[in-house]
Amino acid sequence: MQKIPYTEMLKARKRRDARYDGRFYIGIRTMKTYCLPSCKAKLALEKNLVFFSTKEEAISAGYRSCKRCLAGQFPNTYPLWLEILLTYLKDKISEKITEDQLVQIANVDISTIRRHFKSLYGLTPISYHRKLRLMYAKELIEKGVEFKEIPSCCGFKSISGFRTAFIKEFGHSPGEINSASF
Ligand SMILES: [Zn+2]
């Protein structure tokens, strides 16, 4: 791999440029941790930075992976917090959730959460969750669960709100699944 000039690495870090993730790692001398260029943690002073071309280099110099950007797991697209969030979203299939709840669970800022969902699913986390809930609703309808039960089972307050969201997601009304009166 071509060596990236020092000034370019420094600029990439200052911009928190994710395009450089995996191309080099940044150790912080005072913490003995190493980060991805896109890490959202507070920028360390330049004099405390040490640049590595690979994770292995960082590790053999005695640095540990940063807990925030999880540099050690790169390029695994599934940081631990994401796995936790995905499980949480499945568990909350009967509730409408907010971005604040996600931030609290993941302990990561919302823009990082959104970025990961966007790259994995092309959706915001809230839209992703709505889709899960609607797919669950579809399953329930197919199983013959009573219609008036369905919106509350999948986190919708009203039948009309549910119906609108369903049509938007699947392009037809819920009733068309088994000719019911939705
Ligand atoms: Zn970091």
Same domain, 69 and 82: no
**Token representation of residue 107:** 């302990």
- pTM here is 0.59
Last residue of a domain, one of 73, 92, 110: 73
Same domain, 155 and 108: yes
Q: Distance, CA 127 to ligand 1 centroid (Å)?
A: 28
pLDDT for residue 156: 95
pLDDT for residue 177: 76
Residues contacting 140, CB < 8 A, separation 6+: 149, 150, 153, 154
CATH number, position 16: 3.40.10.10
User: What residue numbers bound the domain in which 60 lies?
Assistant: 6-73
Q: Distance, CA 111 to ligand 1 centroid (Å)?
A: 15
Q: Distance, CA 72 to ligand 1 centroid (Å)?
A: 10
First to last CA, the chain: 59
pLDDT for residue 9: 97
Question: What parts of the chain have a pLDDT lower than 50?
Answer: 181
Same domain, 108 and 134: yes
Q: Distance, CA 66 to ligand 1 centroid (Å)?
A: 4
Q: Distance, CA 56 to ligand 1 centroid (Å)?
A: 16
Q: Distance, CA 109 to ligand 1 centroid (Å)?
A: 13
Same domain, 30 and 58: yes
Domain assignment present for residue 1? The answer is no
Q: Distance, CA 43 to ligand 1 centroid (Å)?
A: 9
pLDDT for residue 119: 81
Same domain, 83 and 16: no
Q: Distance, CA 170 to ligand 1 centroid (Å)?
A: 40
Q: Distance, CA 53 to ligand 1 centroid (Å)?
A: 15
Same domain, 103 and 175: yes
Q: CA torsion sign, 169 to 181 to 139 to 114?
A: positive
Q: How many CB atoms lie within 10 A of CB 78?
A: 12
Same domain, 163 and 110: yes
